[in-house]
Homo-oligomer: A and B are copies of this chain.
Amino acid sequence: MSTILIKNVVVDGESRDIYIKNGTIRRIGVDICIDADTVLDGGGKTVMPAFVNMHTHSGMTLFRGICEDMPLKQWLDAVWKAETVLDDEFIYWGTRLACLEMIKTGTAAFADMYWSIDKAAEAVRDSGMRALLTYCFLDGGDSGKQRIQREECGRMYAISRDWPSRIQFGVSVHAHYTVSDGNMLWAADFARKHSLLIHTHISETCAENETHLARYGISPTARLHSMGLLGRDVIAAHTLWLSDEDVRMLGDSGTTVVHNVNSNLKLASGYRFRYNELRDAGANVTMGTDGAGSSNNLDLRESLKTAALVQKAWREDPAALPLDELLAMGTVNGAKALRLRSGVVEEGALADLILVDTDSPFFIPAHNFKANFIYAANSSCIDTLICDGRVLMRGGKVEGEDAVLSNAKEQASRFVERIKKL
């Protein structure tokens, strides 16, 4: 594999060079003189770990803006209707568009939950990013679907062995209210047998929780716990409506929880994400953008800002969710969940890195780089992104981006024509 030498960048406030081999940071030092396939002049930019977006539906990026100002249930009805006209081209170009947007905003790896993951895998492969792509169980209790989905999951898993190693196969249980008990158990069993990660939604809305309580007498978290569906291999998105007992179960099991603040606010699902309690209980707290259909973008840096502001406000504590913890949510915690040694800038770690251009008003004064990066700047300050040994963006430009934009536009037009006929 290739080698990259980055000259003249800022690491923790000091000017350094970084030598990367086989996608790994081999050396961080002063005036490193080693031949490399690619030499980047960092131009005094600041190095940060690239972001890890722990919950999105990347194929849905072409749904951006189609349903504005709707509550989750009505939004899901509109989306599920629109999803009846999807095809492989839509998934491929929607996922390419998602990857392009994530690269542009500093994300190198993401956890996904959507349909046609074989096509999604082609898109991720062509983008150069890392991803966890999950086969998604959603059967609504239909026994025919249950059987078909098990077969389909096995078939996709077989196909996934040809994926590049930066793309992981995993299993999604869409949600506790959309998947039959039988398939939840089957999916978890399949995942454990093959050491795969499990992705699900838990307690996104208050109504969903109340319906569950009325039906089962326990919370969704408690029921998933009783079925063995919590653990270090489980990624639970939203986890917004949690009792103290739920928090304890998520913490004790070391489950990864994903805060999707923009989506939760915009759909009015809620805002009291229990960050402090989940952290203190031992859960691995990470950040996600959700799909562009609900949150409108996949800009993790922007989501981090909103998460901190809202956490400070509802807790009535301006010191809540301080910058170092916030950045960990967006980087190293997500990496840990995906079983990657990344999310940090140190020798031996994967070189999934961004270079931040501080030559703009937002970075003056330079009292506090992290505050300027998260609270003042917008994501256009992210100049360069390196992932898995390749420079995916440089000077804000991504190779082949014009083709992605034009193909995505064409797919969006086709899609509009089709939903008009529904």
Contact = CB atoms under 8 A, between A and B. Distances in A.
Interface of A: 61-62, 64-66, 68-72, 75, 97, 100-101, 104, 262, 264-271, 292, 295-297, 299, 302, 306, 308-310, 312-320, 322-323, 359-362, 364-368, 371-372, 375-380, 404-405, 408-409, 412-413, 415-416
Copies, count: 2
A380 B313 CA distance: 27
A22 to B, nearest CB: 30
B378 A416 contact: no
A292 B100 CA distance: 31
Contacts of A97: 361, 364
Contacts of A405: 359-361, 364
Nearest to A104: B361
Given A270-B313, A271-B313, A361-B104, A367 B318 contact: no
A69 B297 contact: no
A308 B69 CA distance: 10
Nearest to A398: B361
Contact of A70 (B69, B318, B320, B361): B318
A114 B365 CA distance: 19
- Consensus secondary structure, chain A interface: helix
A295 B372 CA distance: 11
Nearest to A365: B412
Contacts of A292: 376
Contacts of A313: 264-265, 268-271, 310
A413 to B, nearest CB: 8
30 contacts: A64-B365, A66-B367, A68-B323, A68-B368, A69-B322, A70-B318, A72-B318, A75-B318, A97-B361, A101-B361, A104-B361, A262-B309, A264-B313, A265-B309, A271-B310, A271-B314, A292-B376, A295-B375, A297-B376, A306-B306, A310-B313, A360-B405, A361-B408, A364-B405, A364-B409, A365-B413, A365-B415, A367-B412, A378-B379, A378-B380
A116 to B, nearest CB: 19
A365 B416 contact: yes
Given A68-B322, A365-B412, 13 more contacts: A62-B365, A65-B365, A65-B368, A65-B375, A69-B319, A69-B322, A97-B361, A101-B362, A265-B310, A268-B320, A269-B313, A365-B416, A380-B380
A413 B364 CA distance: 10
A312 B268 contact: yes
Given A69-B318, A378-B299, A405-B361, A366 B412 contact: yes
Contacts of A65: 365-368, 371-372, 375-376
A367 B72 CA distance: 19
Nearest to A93: B364
Nearest to A301: B378
Contacts of A377: 297
A315 B266 CA distance: 11
A266 B318 contact: yes
A376 B64 contact: yes
A272 to B, nearest CB: 9
B371 A296 contact: yes
